[in-house]
Amino acid sequence: MQPGNGHEVRKRIPYGIHSQKCRKGVRLLARHSFIQMSKLTNLKGRISYISSHVRQENLYAVYETTERKFWNELAKCNQEEFKKSGTEGSCIEARELIIALPESFVEYEPDMLLKLFVEHFKQQYEVEAIGALHHNKRKTNYHIHLIFSERELLEKPVEKVATRNMFYDETGRHVRTKKEIIDEAGQLKNGCKIISKGEVYERKLFTPKKAKLSRNCF
């Protein structure tokens, strides 16, 4: 690195880098670094944390393959599916890889280095991702946080339309009759709702989760 006008000049990663070079990079990581995967139960909060210059002392680059609203819809979808499943525990809204890099990688231009990793991941697994390139406080651990979706966005949303009035109790459970969700005065109980005939009662934006992305060895 050579100083110039008060800035460090970093090596530029060539545009149009081929997959062979990507694979070489992966082999290099396997020899010198580590990859850790975790489950995210607060996707919005985690994205905010890894991409904030205020909260991260050494944040060099952030790269996203899609608009931020995608992640809000993804979290909503996963929460709805988790609730319907009746599974105990916490909903997994997305997953995160922490990829430790060789310190020599600081010589590469941060924006292009991060873009290379995130776009290669998207191409390989066909899901959206967001990445942030960091150093720890002591600048001894150069690493990437890569958050990814386990679902793909559908080309066209799948909508279900009510063929008759539909009734839901305060827990969101579908019940058969209106009597089950009104009080003695004939008023709708707090938290209950009615979906009228002809209204959309379910709208799916995403595919089911990709099973291979839930395995630690993928």
pLDDT tens digits for 120-142? 999 999 999 999 999 998 999 99
Residues 146-165, mean pLDDT to the nearest whole number: 95
Average pLDDT over residues 179-196: 94
Q: Are residues 57 and 103 in the same domain?
A: yes
pLDDT at 169: 94
Candidates 133, 131, 149, 142; CA nearest to 205 is: 149
Q: Is the pLDDT of residue 42 over 90?
A: yes
Cα distances from 49 to residues 112, 113, 129, 139, 152, in angstroms, run 22, 21, 15, 18, 24
Is pLDDT above 60 for 100? yes
Q: What is the mean pLDDT of the chain?
A: 86
Q: Can you give the residue range of the structural domain that contains 197?
A: 155-205
145 and 114 share a domain? yes
Give pLDDT, residue 52. Answer: 97
Residues 111 and 186 in one domain: no
Q: Are residues 147 and 160 in the same domain?
A: no
SS3 185: coil
Number of domains composing the chain: 2
Specify the pLDDT at position 172: 84
- Proportion of the chain above pLDDT 70, given as a percent: 83
Same domain (yes/no): 41, 138: yes
- State the CB neighbour count (10 A cutoff) for residue 198: 10
Cα separation, 26 vs 182, whole angstroms: 60
Kindly report the pTM of this predicted structure.
0.74
Burial of 5 from C-beta contacts in 10 A (0-12 / 13-18 / 19+): exposed
Euclidean distance between CA atoms 35 and 214, whole angstroms: 15
Residue 83 counted as domain residue: yes
Over 70: is that where the pLDDT of 217 sits? no
- Structure confidence by residue, pLDDT tens digits, 22-40: 344 444 344 445 689 999 9
pLDDT at residue 35, as a whole number: 85
HSE-CB for 192 with a 13 A CA cutoff: 20
pLDDT the model gives residue 16? 35
Percentage of the chain beyond pLDDT 90 is 73
Model confidence band, residue 44 (pLDDT cutoffs 50, 70, 90): very high
State residue 92's pLDDT score: 97
pLDDT digits (tens, 9 = 90+) for 48-89: 999 999 999 999 999 999 999 999 999 999 999 998 888 899
Clarify whether residues 93 and 62 are in a common domain.
yes
Verify that 138 and 99 share a domain, yes or no. Answer: yes
